[in-house]
Chain A
Amino acid sequence: MIEINKSKIKIWSTIGQRATFGMVAYEIANKINNLMVLTCDVSTSAGLDRFRKNFPEKFLELGISEQNMIGVAAALSNENFKVMTTSFAPFQTMRCCEQIKVNLGYMKQKITMVGLASGLVLGPLGYTHCCIEDVGVLRSIPNLTIISPADGLELAKSVVASLNHNQSTYIRLTGSSNAPIIYNKDYNFKIGKPVVLKKGKDIAIFATGSMVKVAIDVSKRLEEEEISASVINIHTIKPMDTSIIKKYLKSKLFVSIEEHNIMGGLGSAISEETSKIGNGPKHIFCGVNDAYLHHGDYKHLLENYDLTADKIIKKIKKNLKVRS
């Protein structure tokens, strides 16, 4: 459905996940007759201006009214349209949380929701626009799939896969423009199936979205210190793949890295699985420590919430020493 080549992968990385979503929607528009894209006055922010102009019959502007949008979207899907909705992550998820519960969870009507600029990237705009709660909130609603793509290619694959998925999907977009490339060529993506990016024998690092690159950097630098780390990209946070947790259960340490509150997100989802199995290793939760504390730009927030390779390496070393 999507043509994948080197130049596109480079463009997607340059423009970041939001604009990539717009490009992907544009590319699939001609291939899906019954596609509808619904927005709440965010078409520019979602990179959808070209889509809006060229496919007006497939574009629906609902104004700034997320609750109504979810109801309308779900009803369209009930009438056999393939529906994608988008707004900034807090408004796409929490503003219309109960509509998501009733229409998508309870009634199982099937749409794809795309949460723009989730995590901390909109730091300068304040925590009204940051989103460190979406995964936690949505994870508690049955019949929803939650995906946080690591780069543009994974986002493209998530969008296409979600439209043929058997339940509603929330795609959480993180990171800024000039984003790192995780996959420089086509690869096998399947909803619910994590990707092992690096094999190691000492510790297991689980990461999602924008933090996958940080996890890779951490593992490379740990190698210099003779600590061998696996890096696992958990693009699908719900449903969580239990087998991957079991596979790494003998690691000396679990590390989860996410641009989200440490409560309710990726780390929580992993630890729920390890607790069920029992005998798991100690687990370091890297994320926002349940606070709206720091104020400033993306880089400033990542540093202050210890979401940099330097800070994470320090934590890992400290914990490994404690164990030895």
Chain B
Amino acid sequence: MKNIEKEINDIRNFAKNIRISILNMSLNAGANSSHFGGALSIVEILATLFSSVMNIDGKKLIKDRFILSKGHACLAYYATLSEIGLIKKKDLLTFEKNNTKLLGHPVKNDKIGIDFSTGSLGMGFSSAIGVALAIKKKKKPYNVYVVLGDGECNEGSVWEGALSAPNLELNNLNVIVDNNGFQQTGSNKDIMNLLDLKKKWESFGWHVEEVDGHNIDALNKIFSNVKKINKPKVIIAKL
């Protein structure tokens, strides 16, 4: 019991540190930069994944993989990579400055553990499908985790990918839809109503779970439970 308590407590601290870094980076970048709303909304997801769920083999990120398809939330991603030692704390403050490695959308960079440049919505999802497929072809036991935005689910290519992953039997693929209810210029409902996301993904052949996207306990349990399920998985992380 104590071990689980410690685990949850570690994730909480990890999440707290991400939040502090996000605010520091945003403040330093100035008023016109930073999608910090989208970043703050995935903090507990990333903290749970990187602190507890993923097999990241120290700092190498070559076992379980992570792709941030909603690239605009990169503040949370950079802060997370900093927590696991891949990005130096002082480098976080170069966010969106000239000649930085840390632009407003992630740029592929092996040295800091970023496998794919994302930011054009929908594309990181297809990358995740390719990686999950490659891992299966190589007969490795690793999982792929990819975070999509709910606004991102407006993109047609997301549904091309959604159709393909169950067909390719990618039971090592885990999609987290950050269902915070908002996109660039308004709520999902006002801009392009997604209606029943759970039913949509289910009808495409995925195992779907819904969870409070900020409840570390619940996230940790779900990520652990779905590992046994022999289908591609979607975790819809509610506001």
Contacts and interface: CB of A to CB of B under 8 A. Distances in A.
Contact of A79 (B125, B134, B164, B167): B134
A75 B164 contact: no
Interface string B162-178: 01100110000000000
B133 interface: yes
Contact of B130 (A76, A102, A107): A76
Contact of A68 (B116, B129, B131, B137): B129
Interface in A41-67: 57, 60, 62-63, 65, 67
A299 B168 CA distance: 42
A132 interface: no
Contact of B115 (A71, A78, A98, A102): A78
Interface residues of B, number: 27
Contacts of A76: 130, 133-134
B123 A79 contact: no
B134 A68 contact: no
A106 B131 CA distance: 18
A70 B135 CA distance: 18
B120 A78 contact: no
B132 to A, nearest CB: 9
A305 interface: no
A100 to B, nearest CB: 11
B149 to A, nearest CB: 16
A99 B126 CA distance: 10
A81 interface: yes
Contact of A71 (B138, B157, B167, B168): B157
Contacts of A73: 130
Secondary structure at chain B's binding surface: helix, strand, loop or mixed?
A: helix
Contacts of A72: 126-127, 129-130, 133, 164
Interface string B102-131: 000000100000011100101101111111
A102 B117 contact: yes
B117 A75 contact: no
B160 interface: yes
Contacts, number: 81
A67 B168 CA distance: 16
Interface in A78-118: 78-79, 81, 98-99, 102-103, 106-107
Given A63-B163, A103-B123, A103-B127, A75 B134 contact: yes
Contact of B164 (A57, A62, A81, A99): A62
B126 A81 contact: no
B117 A67 contact: no
B89 to A, nearest CB: 27
Given A63-B163, A65-B160, A65-B163, A71 B123 contact: yes
A74 interface: yes
Nearest to B69: A71
Contact of B156 (A67, A106, A107): A67
Given A98-B120, A107-B117, A75 B126 contact: yes
Contacts of B108: 107
Interface residues of A, number: 23
B126 A71 contact: yes
Interface string B80-117: 00000000000000000000000000001000000111
Contacts of B164: 62-63, 65, 68, 72
B213 interface: no
A76 B126 CA distance: 10
B127 A68 contact: no
Nearest to A72: B130
A74 B130 contact: yes
Contacts of B131: 75, 78-79
Which one of A63, A74, A79, A99 has the highest number of Cβ atoms from chain B below 10 Å of its Cβ? A79
Nearest to A77: B130
Nearest to A98: B120
A74 B163 CA distance: 18
B21 to A, nearest CB: 26
Nearest 8 A/B pairs, CB to CB: A71-B126, A75-B130, A79-B134, A65-B160, A68-B160, A72-B130, A67-B157, A75-B127
29 contacts: A60-B133, A62-B164, A63-B160, A63-B164, A65-B157, A65-B160, A65-B161, A67-B122, A67-B157, A67-B160, A68-B160, A68-B161, A71-B126, A71-B157, A72-B129, A75-B130, A76-B134, A79-B131, A79-B134, A79-B135, A79-B138, A98-B120, A99-B126, A102-B117, A102-B123, A103-B123, A103-B127, A107-B108, A107-B117
Given A67-B122, A75-B134, A79-B138, 5 more contacts: A68-B161, A74-B130, A75-B126, A102-B117, A102-B123
